[in-house]
Amino acid sequence: MSQSRILKFLLLTCMLGAAFAVAACGSSDSTDSSSSDATVASLDDCTPDTLDTVAADTLTIGTDKPAYPPYFEDNDPANGKGFESATAYAIADQLGFSEDQVEWTVVPFNSSYAPGPKDFDFDINQISITPKRAEAVDFSSPYYTADQAVVTLKDSDYADSTTLEELKGATFGVQIGTTSLDAVNESIQPDSDPQVFDTSNDVVSALKQGQVDAVVVDTPTALYLTAVQVPDGTIVGEFPAPGGDEWGALLAKDSSLTACVSAAIEELQSSGELDDIQQEWINSAGGVKELQ
């Protein structure tokens, strides 16, 4: 990441004074076939007057609270700032909805993929696409693929590690039910079982208090964590999640909107707009070394 981008990132993230929850986006379920199987429709058939949305002429989008950088800015999903806020509005635009026709609703992360009806049209919240979750909900085509990152304190014995092998002796902290837990167990295979915490805030506290040597989160979250919440922390490096860690928009099971949301994302990818949004708000790999 260039110095100017780092400064921009720090300025943006430091604006958020609210408590931050480490993104624990994935699931402990297998990700061997993590890609969405959603059929992609023609955008010509996806217009506000033809879509069966929760509210007429309105696209209702869900995400968790607090909504934090680099995914959202100022804890305000509706301002269009941040990777997922900008992506959501770009999807809405592809479907013919103006910004004034977009409504946001709070959806706790762990309840988003629970079975049952939804009070949103789609949810965007760093939600990993997994086969187990896809049994209960729909996923769009993926809009982002995340790497996992190891974060430790700067004075840790593991801060200068360059390989996953060198991290085997570390005690890791992760949030329960996440792809980060999978990543520790499958890719690092530490000598001792990782300590599993109920909430992301508990994971951060454990690192600060020295209860664990390191934590594993997705790379964009690691950048925010070390810039704001744990300033004496450092990113040891990043590595691919086992089987990949693709994020998709989440919809109700068998939603009539799934194919259209996928079509919108596919168009954003082919036009380069999604890449531009990612470059502006995430810059996830820059300045982070890869752990071998």
To which residue do tokens 């049994």 refer? 135
Q: How far is CA 134 from CA 130, 248, 267, in A?
A: 6, 11, 23
pLDDT attached to residue 28: 42
Domain ranges of the chain: 3-25+38-145+246-281, 147-240
Q: Are 113 and 133 in contact (CB under 8 A)?
A: yes
What's phi and psi for 111, nearest 5 deg?
-90, -10
21 token code pair: 């929850």
* CB count in 10 Å sphere of residue 45: 11
| Parts of the chain with a pLDDT under 50 | 1-37, 284-285
Interior/surface letters 205-238, b for 16+ CB within 10 angstroms, e for the rest:
ebbeeeebbbbbbbbbbbbbbbbbbbeebbbbbb
113 token code pair: 């993929």
Residue 211 makes CB contacts below 8 A (sequence gap 6+) with: 173, 195, 205
Give the Cα separation of 129 and 111 in Å (integer).
Answer: 15
Give the Cα separation of 116 and 225 in Å (integer).
Answer: 33
pLDDT attached to residue 40: 63
pLDDT attached to residue 286: 54
pLDDT attached to residue 287: 65
193 token code pair: 């079982």
Do the domains spanning 3-25+38-145+246-281 and 147-240 agree at the CATH topology level?
Answer: yes
Report helix, strand or coil for 28: coil
**CATH assignment of 3-25+38-145+246-281, given 3.40.190.10, 1.20.1050.10, 3.40.120.10, 3.20.20.150?**
3.40.190.10
Interior/surface letters 78-111, b for 16+ CB within 10 angstroms, e for the rest:
beebbbbbbbbbbbbebbbbeeebbbbbebebee
Q: Tell me the pLDDT tens digit for each residue of 156-211.
A: 999 999 999 999 999 999 987 778 888 999 999 999 999 999 877 889 999 999 99
Q: Model pTM? A: 0.74
Interior/surface letters 256-274, b for 16+ CB within 10 angstroms, e for the rest:
ebbbbbbbbbbbbeeeebb
Q: What is the CATH number of domain 147-240?
A: 3.40.190.10
Give the Cα separation of 77 and 67 in Å (integer).
Answer: 7
pLDDT attached to residue 187: 94
